Amino acid sequence: MAEGKSFAATDRTLPTRARERARYDEETVHAILDEGYVCHLGFVRDGAPVVLPTLYGRVGNRLYVHGSTGSRPLRMAGGQSADPGLAVCLTVTHVDGLVLAKSAFHHSMNYRSVVVHGTAHQVTDQEEKKVALDALVDHVLPGRAADSRPANTKELAATAVLRLDLREVSAKIRTGGPNDDPEDLALPHWSGVLPVSPSYGAPIPADDLAPGIPAPDYFSAR
């Protein structure tokens, strides 16, 4: 299984509909995760769902999110390795295109998403915490962790990191044009896809950036 390793489908990751869009292979899951900037982290608070956008990073089959030690999900996950952790659902979505059909009913999106179910635990090992924080910074921009001042003791103490293992995980992908009904094809409406992708503007130097420091060349990685 060195090649084509896949996650096992579970009741939660087997879609009730559009099963042909589901993917479970690591390569697809990792690629979608690595391309995102923010995930949407869901947890249950007082019986009700909460969904917050947050940065994340990946190391192998471990995802990391971070926050202040005082933030709600971090506190809820507990601070000791023996704590039961926090049940979460972490979702990353890319919109790739607006799918315009002849009929309102068949309008759709082309997208790639990953949904991870599991229990998040606070990282208590200091070495793992440093690796996780590097991954978070490198996730924003690959190569950036080595080109910034690492967290000092005070910053490390003020930052809590949650780990979520990739075990119960699935990807969903929709590609291609609209699926119009044959009897609609003679209608006069344009149909097809309007592609969407992120684009990057010119780097804006910080107001307090000293003169003579050029924008780094690893910007081209994004």
Residue 38 CB neighbours (<10 A) = 13
* Smaller CB separation from a copy of itself, 60 or 209: 209
What is the sign of the dihedral through the CA atoms of 63, 146, 123 and 67? Answer: negative
The answer to whether 40 contacts a copy of itself (rule: CB under 8 A) is: yes
CB of 14 to a copy of itself, least distance (A): 11
With beta carbons less than 8 A apart as the criterion, state whether 53 and 134 touch.
Answer: no
What track of x and - describes contact with a copy of itself for positions 126 through 155 (by CB under 8 A)?
A: -------xx-xx--xx--xx-xxxxxx--x
* Smaller CB separation from a copy of itself, 5 or 35: 35
- Work out which of 95, 124, 128, 165 binds a copy of itself, going by CB under 8 A: 95
Dihedral angle at the C-alpha atoms of 142, 144, 147, 151, nearest 10 degrees?
-130
DSSP code of residue 19 = G
CB of 51 to a copy of itself, least distance (A): 4
- Quick one: tokens of 140? 């924003």
The answer to whether 124 contacts a copy of itself (rule: CB under 8 A) is: no
CB of 128 to a copy of itself, least distance (A): 16
- Contacts of a copy of itself in 56-75 (CB under 8 A): 68, 70-72
Task: Give the whole-angstrom CA distance, residue 132 versus residue 121.
Answer: 13
The answer to whether 44 contacts a copy of itself (rule: CB under 8 A) is: yes
Cα–Cα nearest to 82, from 124, 138, 23: 124
Cα–Cα nearest to 111, from 189, 23, 43, 49: 23
The answer to whether 78 contacts a copy of itself (rule: CB under 8 A) is: no
What track of x and - describes contact with a copy of itself for positions 170 through 209 (by CB under 8 A)?
A: -------xx-x---xxxxxxxxxxxxxxxxxxxxxxxxxx
